[in-house]
Amino acid sequence: MPNIKKAQSFWMWFMCHEKVYLNLENVDEYEKDAWLDELLNQLHKYNKDLGCVLNLMNGIHAELIITAEGNFKLFEDVLFLVNASPMLEDWDFINFIYPNDVTGAFIYEDVILYRDDIYFKARKNNKRLGLLDLQLFIKDFKCVSQSMHFNDAINLFLLNLLGEIDFATAIGKLTVKDMLVAPGKKRLFKLHKLPEFVSKHSMIRCLFPAMRGFIF
């Protein structure tokens, strides 16, 4: 259950330091990292499992995105916190990560992923209504999967491709495999078709706008 006092405390702290974050690109990397760590530390006083993304290059307003990092169980906490956010002239406060352009190289730590090198197939999950069992097939899988950061990279890649709501409410099970040989590959879909595929098959996503009305 979200805690209103903790939410208010976070926003009071943020209002006292908003100018620091607006000018974060003008400080050295050491100071920048320290302030980003402090932002996350303050957010974790509200909920230790939430994350955030700071976007200072978005035209008129800076953005602070509060994310459940793909965990549907934390959606209520994200919505509650953003709903309690103050009205600040220079800021937009956003709930959840929305789909991003991942047409080029997606780099996370030592993992490099290319959308055009990934295919998928999916089927309905027999135990969890409205969710999909998703299988990804990646070129050079044996090489790229050696990284200790591989699983995190895959999850972040899909989070950006689908957006957080579809990622959390449509994918029930995820497995990653080596690319199939030519005959089998014909039965697969190119990854750029996944967002459209997911939006058509997610029953939970269709209910989400209605669910938001019952949270507050």
Break the chain into its structural domains and give their ranges: 4-95, 105-209
Q: What is the pLDDT of residue 33?
A: 93
Confidence at 192, pLDDT banded by 50, 70, 90: very high
**Which residue has better confidence, 208 or 188?**
188
Q: What is the pLDDT of residue 103?
A: 84
Residues 6+ apart with CB under 8 A from 71: 49, 168
Q: What is the pLDDT of residue 215?
A: 38
Closest CA to 130 of 206, 208, 202: 202
Question: What would the two tokens of residue 168 be?
Answer: 């959390």
Record the pTM.
0.77
Asked if 162 and 132 count as a contact pair (C-beta separation under 8 A), the reply is: no
